[in-house]
Amino acid sequence: MISLREVASRWLVALAVVAWPVASPAAQKPLWEAGLGVGAMVFPDYRGSDEVNAYPIPLPYFVYRGEFLKADREGLRGELFDKRYLELSFSMNATIPVSSDDNDARAGMPNLRPTLEFGPSLDVHLWRSSDTNRKLDLVLPLRVPITLESSPKALGWNFSPRLNLDIQNVGGYEGWNFGIGAGPLFGAAKYHEYFYSVAPRFATASRRAYDARGGYSGTHLIAAISKRFPDYWVGAYMRYDNLSNAAFADSPLVRQQNYLTGGIGIAWMIGKSKRMVEVGDDEITE
């Protein structure tokens, strides 16, 4: 169940400390920028699936710097509250469909419909370096997933708190940006049931009936590197998932508990607005 927002953030990038107050002088950037490119990704059909596929994909690049609505490396979101140490935003996720005819573990079961996820995200700005080139955030997104079909179904909730470290000009190389984020995942019983339960009528000799519970969903770590050149953008990412001790780890649909995924991409700039807007220097370069 690869999230489309995760895909976007992988490209455009995955404990308490005292937040370091920093100055944020304004800079002028276009209200919006757009580009289009190509990429390649390798990932399983859903978290825990042992069937891995490589996909060539179109790679859109879009940045919008509105006062309320924003679209950038963090995905599409609406900022509800933005202060030096706290930011409350409205964000969206989505998951892709999976055909059970093409997945051995789910053979004979209903297909997985795509889902749309939406909800608030509270970002706590824990630390900024004095030159604003490095920042550490605690990101707390809580979302409600809904299936996209003729009769949509609400799937409870999911929560994925994580620590994000972003570094601009990594290693002293101008324009190269590195990001790494890690944290646990949690989901409601309905959410886990959708992906990992096996109703008795779909049980077979090799696939027992199973009723997934809510709770811990495992952990993940995402690292990405990218650079924006004047006329194009390049990036790559790698993600590690660990499902050990997840509430659904003993589901017959879970066939691997540790795996790596990754991808690369390039996008060429095709347009930008003439209107310029002010942004703070602590904005990570896209």
pLDDT at 84: 72
Of 257, 242, 250, the C-alpha closest to 207 is 250
Flag whether pLDDT at 13 surpasses 60: no
Question: Helix (H, G, I), strand (E, B), or coil: what is residue 81?
Answer: strand
113 Cα distance to chain centroid = 19
Bridge partners of 166?
135, 179
The pTM (predicted TM-score) of the whole model is: 0.79
Residue 11 is classified by DSSP as: H
**Mean pLDDT throughout 179-183?**
96
**Mean pLDDT throughout 20-47?**
76
pLDDT at 71: 57
Select from 3.30.460, 2.40.230, 2.60.220, 3.40.50 the CATH code of 4-280.
2.40.230
pLDDT digits over 194-237, tens only? 999 999 999 999 999 999 999 999 999 999 999 989 899 999 99
CB distance 115 to 103 below 8 Å: no
Instruction: Compute the distance between CA of residue 105 and CA of residue 123 in angstroms, rounded to an integer.
Output: 37
Of 57, 59, 89, 60, the C-alpha closest to 76 is 89
Question: Nearest 5°: phi and psi at 206?
Answer: -110, 0
Q: Which two tokens stand for residue 187?
A: 């989901």
Lowest mean pLDDT, pick from 36-40, 81-85, 142-146, 157-161: 81-85
pLDDT digits over 36-52, tens only? 999 998 988 899 999 98
pLDDT digits over 111-133, tens only? 999 899 999 988 899 999 988 88
